[in-house]
Structure formats: structure tokens, C-alpha cells
Structure 1
């Protein structure tokens, strides 16, 4: 009770984000239960158990209002389950999308659009939207010509409070402006995407005027100000904190997109002095955000007087059998698909020796990456530049067999969920990049034979226990060879010799387009030049999926089409011999 006799009620808002097609705690590529170093669990089936527990706890208090459940986007892309029902058996044929089926079963109240919702085209997205029992919101997804929203901008939910007037909750949905770049081929001349701060300034007052006592923004945009696309757009990619600080009238923000865990962050609005609580649960259904808003009536109107955020961990509960029952047939169908033949390979490709010799396995990754970027750049100013690609030997155990090839075989070559970008680098920058990469090797004299551990995984100041394989990059040319030698007898920083493109020495000012994954381009591994290089391609397509698509489309993988020995290790100019033992 307050001094005026009014009682305080607590409204709980639960939230998920970046589910990326994860319904079950399952790794389709490894064909086993999902696990990672932190022993996280994933998927909507486990989220459902957490949601039910929260609802049951709150229902036990007969005076507490019903909790709400929201999502902040990136739902229908990211796993073979999502891919299957977009490309193999598209939901446009009438099948209920498994993510829609699960979210309907759990009982979501609203969701925001994510950028990956657009990856499979507008027909798939609109069908998914129609299959939902709740609104899919996107106030800043606007018609190209009229600038009017083409998805519902917000929804009002009346929450019953026993013995009191209901609380009217306004839920505003905002998506990521980067869609205009990442899915340009899908949205150009159809949709445009205003900045989340600018559109929140427009819509939050409208939501308030429509009768909202509480305004919650579900935003597919990270908290801290940044943009992976630099200044290619006039508005930032990640701006939730800025929105909370500069747009009055917001009580809470469910944050998405950044794939980070932020249980609770407070931002003070500069106009009102009120605090706004922000919460971002971890990706893939690993966490469920709980935002608690304490309300009391002020002059007869509900007002938020307290805020709190936390996250619940999906690895603490079992899967909800109701969700499992709804999705089991879809899940089984996708497991069969992932293990089925999608093509053939003319000869076996192994990554076992990829860290110290030019292999067909890594050349295949680079070929697919370079080919995708080159095709996308057709008709652009960069179309005439030579295309290179960068790959790292992620997984020495990876191999594609001769003969029948499955989705899982291809995926084993690329074990991370990285997306593809294209940047431009000069010849001198390319040389610096390769020198940095060559720190991976220990300095040795003579030509061996050496065991692999005598030469690879050298300790550095930033990797005192040894440079991991995934931080050693190999470069290759798409249509013409990029050739170089790494002289391990020389100290780090002066090892790259005979650097040439198509047989000609690379000039310092020569320009190249370089296909690279988002981890490296965003600064992972701290490579020189790559983070600040101009981005000329970024559609946020997963590299692993590009490789699967290549095999599915062509039907045949022929190493002779892309494998040439373009780089090698030498000692004082002479080839060295390395065996895998001891690696």
C-alpha cells in the first residue's frame, strides 16, 4: 500500500530474442543434444517450461496481473529446421512453420521483426506472420513510397488486475535498419527502414495517446551504440540505450540482435529523469528475460514506480512435453534431411593438414565465399576488382568423403555460425594481414621433418598458450591464384615472400575485394586493417549455408575445379616437411 491507500502491483514481462530457428535442445550438424563450453541449453521447448513456471508462480498470487510474453526478433533463420521450412518444404505451401507452432503453443503476446526474418523473402515472412496467433510488430518497416508502416507498429494489451481497473500495456516493435543493406535484394523499392530512435520519437507518444499506461519497446537492436555497416546508413544499427535516453515515455526495452546477455541495465531519460530498464536474454533460447514493473495509481492512472530485470537459464529445466509433441514430426523430418545425400564429391577432402599445407578442404570454403561475393558485386564499381577470400582451419577433424555427401558432411567444414562480408584491401594491407597471420607459426630452422606441434600454434603476447587454429587465416584467389610463401626460419613480421596475384608481384596500391567472415571483420583475432576496411558486401548470409547451397545446387563437388597449391611453408626458401603426429 502507498501513503494514499493505493496498492502497488507488479507486472512481469517475459522476453526472448534471437531464437534463430531453435525449437529443441539439438545440434543438427552434430546430430546430438546441444552443448557448449558453458553448458547452455537452447530452444523454445525449454523456454516454455520456464514460462509456465513463471505463470504458475504469479497465478498463485490472486492479486497479481497476468504476465506478458514478448520476443525481439530473428526467429525464422539459423538452423536446418528453419532452413528446411523456408527452402526444402516452404511454408508457402501450407505447412505451419515450426517456430510459429511452438510460439503459438507457448502463448506469446507479441513479437518484433528481426533482420533475419527477411532472409528468405517477403512471401515466407508474410506467411509466417499470418500463421502467428499474435502480432508481428515493426513500426520502422515502412512502405518505400508512402513511408507508412507495413507491419503493425504496436499493440495494446489490457491486463486484468483483480479489484482494480486494468493496466493498458502498449508494446511497440522496432526492427534493425541494417535490413536495407543486408537484404537489399529483398526489400529495395519495396520497404525502407527508419532509425529506431527516430521512429520511437514518432510512435511512443502515439502509443501513450492511444491509452497506454505502460510502454514497452521490443527492439531488434543492441544496447550500446555501434554499426557494423559504418556510415553506410545515416542511422545506427545498435541504439537501444540512446533510444531510452532520448525518447520520453518508455518504461522498459526488450533488447535483441547483439547476442549478448544483459540481465538488467538502467538508462535515465534526459527529458523526464525517469529510469528505463533494458534486458537482453542470450541467443537461441538460452535465457528468458524477466522484466518486473511495479505500478501504482497516481490520480487514478497506473504509473510505473519501480523496475527490475533478470534472466532465467534454460539449462535449469526440462523441455516442455507439449511443445515437443507439437514439433516432433518436423524435428524428425529435418534430422532425416540433414543426414541425407545432397550431392557427391569426386574425391575425399580432409582438413587434417590444413594448418600447414594448402588443402582442397580450405580452398572449397574460400571458393564458395569468393564466388558469392563476386556474384553479388556484378554491376557495382567493385565488379572489376580481383576477388580473394579468407578462411581459417577451424576443425582438423573435418572431412568430406568421396561419393555421397550429406548436409552434415559439408557443415563439418564450417563449424561456426559466421556470416559473409566483402571488404576492400590494398596490396600493402594484404601483406600486413598475411604477416599477422603467419605469427601462428613457430620460428624453426632447417627443413625438418617436423611434427606439426613443433611448427604450428605459436604463443604470442595475446595468445600466451598458443595461437588457436581459428586465428590462423589462409588466403586464396577466386578466378586467378594468389600465391605466397611463409618462411618460418624468419622472425614473425617478415615471413611473407613471393606474394603475387596471377603471377605478378602484388603492388602496394593494388586493390582487392576480400571475402571474410563477420567474426574477423568485426575485430575477432585483432587482425590489421580488416575492421576499418570499406565494406562492399554484407547480406548476413551464413557461410555454412552457402556451402550447403552450393553442393545442393551443383550436385557435385569436384576439388579439381578450385584446388590449387598456392601457398606453402618454407625455411630459408626451401620447402619443409611436416607430419601430423604430435599436433
Structure 2
């Protein structure tokens, strides 16, 4: 008997990160393709049989890619050049790949030395997969044959600008996977059947309990349980860190921004010419401490230099004062910076009720002359936006949750509830609203502090439904807001807030620092 090993490496949800730092403060971080390249090259030296796949959302997320699209699109796509240099075997199309329109994707198809895989994205004109062959086959020198099928969440039309997906049809990811796996088992007879799915799990992978995730957007758990013949499922989209087995299927999901590489070791035994899987092991390899590959960084060195200069350019001005001198005071009475963020959210979605948070006590607000770096320093999370359909009672419950942020100290002053500071600061879970008028009376018990709540001058109706925009984290119930979980989603905006704020400045140039004082906290 002879044994042999195949390694599968997965990157997913890189979101534009090549350099090992965040663009708001340039602090060193264990992220990016620069570090990943070092790990990939080390593994190639160690392993004779290696398969390297990107699982989607490679682009959107950093100023580097935004600058490339706006100012250097006539040049080769640096991200495709990096994947070519690292000899990727294939890449799946993620939902964010569509954010910049089909011209970007068509250019990627031409420049890529690897196949783009998306079995369930169909060209309406030809009725064939738009990106060509939906799977890739690789036969290693030891004779082991691996097949990788690529699919992506079919929920993309619910988010994307229709002009960016003209002539495309998005078939159900589960049904497409089931059909193709069955076909490939017969036609290719692989020793190793891999599905790379830009989607995640609708159930907890350990307990099987529903997580509240949309079962149409994320179908990974169902794939593992209901589709026969899958050996490995590479996932992403949710930005979770997962490495385990689900119903005998080895799964990985490596977080986001290149902080981890999903790695699956598959041991085979060969007996009389028959190859069988003896053992599989999933793991996540952290990029913390991994050196940056200088060759990969050199590919984007000039573009990055230009990007950094662009980040420091003034893109708009503030007429008035949006500087935050006292974060605690800014949570007690409306601040122009918070009103501005809510205005951007409402403008992007076309609704007139919005909520947002002052994420931490280091946020300084905006100076008179605003650069993109100022925006990144103030809006520190890569949030997108969701519009939920909420009842008046849902909104009241959310305001009661936010009112629990405050407490009265022993000396009778307004303080912060320790549950928002211990064991870690959670100022981002205190929301401030625009489009409604409300009063929070902290003298009253928690749960009964909303003493006035109106919309357009009339009391908010308990059972009436209202469209409300908020960030995607909060829309999922994150931060202790169960009243938002599983509520109807009317609209989603897939550009993150830093891009939306930047675009708002580029459109309006001068922003008035206004404050309509639609809410107040009383003691």
C-alpha cells in the first residue's frame, strides 16, 4: 500500500487587502495578500501536490482598489496579476466582484491565467455559465484527480445595482451544486470532489441549530447534508473562522482581509491502483508573524504610493463644526457628525428613518478640510447597509435597548452602564436615530425609558411598519438587538459606508454641520 497527501489552500474575502495595514491609521496588522504569498510559497516548497483557490470578494474593501478603478483602470488589474504570480488554480466570483460593473469582470477574465468558476451565474443570451467552464480539474503527478466546482450565493440580485448584472441570471446555488456534483462524479470520476462556494452556513456547524441566517443567501449546511459526493466545501461570505467537518464533509472559512488561509490536508492511500481518502484535516493558518513577500508588494508599489497621496487629498469641506470633543456628551445630545452619518445612510437608501453609532471614544469627528483618510479614521468598520421593515414596537424596543447604555451614578450624575464597558468597551451598541423624535428618561427603570416617540409629528404606531436603514451588523441583531433579527429586508447596499461617505462628499463638496435635535436624554 502507498500513501500520498494533497493540500488544498483557500483564500476568501480578501476585500482588497494586499499591504499588512489598515488604511485609516497605517498600523501594522496580520492581514493581506503580501503575507499570504509567503505562506503559499512555503507550502509549495513543502508539498508536491497543492491546490490553491480564491473563494471570492477579492476586490472591494480598500482605497487601493478604489483608486485603481477611478484612476488606473487602463492598467492591468494588480489583484489578478498577484493571483497569476502565485499560480492560483481557480477563483470563484463573489458578490462584491460585481460592485464596479461588468467591464471590470470582463477585464479580469481576459487577464487571468486561471479559470473563473461560477456554475450558477448564467448568461441569459447563451444560457451558458457566463464565466466559462464552471469547474477546474487538476491531476497531480501521483495520479490523484481533483475537481473544483465553483458556485456563489444567488442572492446577488437583491443587493446589486441592476446595471451591473445586465444579461445575467443567478440560479439557486444549492440546486446548481447538486446537479453539477452528480454530473462530475460520473463524467470526471474524481478522487477528490471539492466545492468552492462563495456563501456560508445557515445553521451552526457544530450544533445544527439555526443561526437566523437567510437560508437562501447561505446554504452551506444544507449542501453538506443533502448533496452526496462532496469531500471538501470551501466557504466564505460570512467572514467567519471555521475549520471542521459537517456530516463528513471537511469545511473551512478563513475570516476576512487575508487574516487566515484555509488549509485542508487530505491523505490518500493507494491500494492496487485504487485511490481512497484515508484522512482529512481542516485548519486555519494565521498570518500573524508571517513576513511580507517583497515580490508581491512590488507589483503594487507605485499604485500604493499614488493611493496614499490620494488619501490625503481634500475631497470636501465642512461648513461648521463636526469635531467631537467629548464622546460621552455626543451620546447625550445629538452631534452634527452623527446626524451627518445618518443623512448619508438615508441618502444611499432613499428611506427617512436611520440609526447609527459612535463606534468608540477615539473617534474625533471630521475636520474642516476632509480627506478620505479622515473618513477611514472615523468610520472604522467595513459595514454595508440594510433597510429593514420594522414595526413601531420594534423601534421602541430598540430604543429601550439603546437607553440601557446609561445609568445614574451614586452622586446622581449620568454614567455608563457597566454592561457596555465590561469585559470590553461596547460603545458601538448605543444607537442614535434620525427621522423620528424621541426622549429617553434615564430616571426611569431600564425597559421603560422611552417617554416620547413620534414620526412626522405623530405618535409612532405600534403595529404599523416602517422602513429603517442601519448597518448590516445591527440589521442581523448584532450587539443585543434581537428585535431586528429575521425582519424583512427591503433593500441592501453592498458598497461599504466609507465608500458611500466618500461619494457623498465628492457629490456635494461642502457639507453643512447641522443638528436638528430630534432626540434628547434627560436626567
Separation in 2, partners of 1:466, 1:495: 25
Larger Rg: 1
- What TM-score do you get using the length of structure 1 for normalisation? 0.83
Partner of 1:575: none
Separation in 2, partners of 1:366, 1:326: 38
Could you list the structure 1 runs, at least 4 aligned residues long, displaced by more than 6 angstroms after superposition: 226-229
Which runs of structure 2 are paired with 1:294-313 in the superposition (5 Å)? 294-297=267-270, 300-313=273-286
| Paired residue total | 512
Match of 1:494 among 424, 441, 448: 448
- What's the CA shift for 1:66? 2.9
Is residue 388–residue 513 contact of structure 1 (8 Å, CA) maintained in 2?
yes
Is residue 346–residue 402 contact of structure 1 (8 Å, CA) maintained in 2?
no
Separation in 1, partners of 2:424, 2:211: 32
Describe the shift of the 1:527–1:463 C-alpha distance in structure 2 as closer, same or farther (beyond 3 A). Answer: farther
1:266 aligns with 2:245: yes
Match of 2:6 among 7, 11, 19: 11
Separation in 2, partners of 1:472, 1:409: 22
Partner of 2:330: 354
Task: Select between 319-328 and 243-252 the one with higher mean Cα deviation.
Answer: 243-252
Separation in 1, partners of 2:130, 2:28: 39
- What's the CA shift for 1:543? 1.8
Separation in 2, partners of 1:295, 1:391: 52
Separation in 1, partners of 2:212, 2:490: 12
Partner of 1:157: 138
Which runs of structure 2 are paired with 1:248-263 in the superposition (5 Å)? 248-263=228-243
1:458 aligns with 2:440: no
- What's the CA shift for 1:102? 1.6
Give the gaps of 5 or more residues in structure 1.
35-40, 59-64, 269-274, 375-385, 572-583
- What's the CA shift for 1:175? 0.8
1:471 aligns with 2:429: yes
Separation in 1, partners of 2:235, 2:87: 20
Is residue 220–residue 257 contact of structure 1 (8 Å, CA) maintained in 2?
yes
1:214 aligns with 2:189: no
The DSSP-based 3-state class of the residue aligned with 1:107 is coil
Which runs of structure 2 are paired with 1:336-485 in the superposition (5 Å)? 336-351=309-324, 352=327, 353-374=329-350, 387-443=352-408, 454-460=413-419, 468-477=426-435, 482-485=436-439
Task: Select between 492-501 and 338-347 the one with higher mean Cα deviation.
Answer: 492-501
- What's the CA shift for 1:143? 2.5
- What's the CA shift for 1:547? 0.8
1:319 aligns with 2:278: no
Match of 1:132 among 112, 117, 131: 112
Separation in 1, partners of 2:344, 2:225: 43
Task: Select between 429-438 and 292-301 the one with higher mean Cα deviation.
Answer: 292-301
The DSSP-based 3-state class of the residue aligned with 1:330 is helix
Describe the shift of the 1:468–1:261 C-alpha distance in structure 2 as closer, same or farther (beyond 3 A). Answer: closer
Is residue 17–residue 257 contact of structure 2 (8 Å, CA) maintained in 1?
yes
Match of 1:552 among 498, 502, 506: 506
Q: Deviations over 1:470-503 (max 9, x none)?
A: 11111111xxxx2222212222222222322233
The DSSP-based 3-state class of the residue aligned with 1:236 is coil
- What's the CA shift for 1:359? 0.5
- What's the CA shift for 1:519? 0.8
Partner of 1:167: 144
- What's the CA shift for 1:224? 4.2
Separation in 1, partners of 2:461, 2:224: 49
Separation in 2, partners of 1:56, 1:189: 43
Partner of 1:205: 182
Is residue 118–residue 186 contact of structure 1 (8 Å, CA) maintained in 2?
no
Is residue 458–residue 466 contact of structure 1 (8 Å, CA) maintained in 2?
no
Describe the shift of the 1:487–1:261 C-alpha distance in structure 2 as closer, same or farther (beyond 3 A). Answer: same
- What TM-score do you get using the length of structure 2 for normalisation? 0.92
Separation in 1, partners of 2:45, 2:334: 58
Separation in 2, partners of 1:267, 1:440: 39
Describe the shift of the 1:218–1:74 C-alpha distance in structure 2 as closer, same or farther (beyond 3 A). Answer: same
- What's the CA shift for 1:465? 5.5
Partner of 2:46: 57
Partner of 2:54: 71
Which runs of structure 2 are paired with 1:484-563 in the superposition (5 Å)? 484-560=438-514, 563=515
Describe the shift of the 1:564–1:143 C-alpha distance in structure 2 as closer, same or farther (beyond 3 A). Answer: same
Which runs of structure 2 are paired with 1:92-111 in the superposition (5 Å)? 94-111=74-91
Match of 1:89 among 71, 74, 89: 71
Separation in 2, partners of 1:426, 1:311: 41
Separation in 1, partners of 2:10, 2:394: 44
Q: CA RMSD in A?
A: 2.4
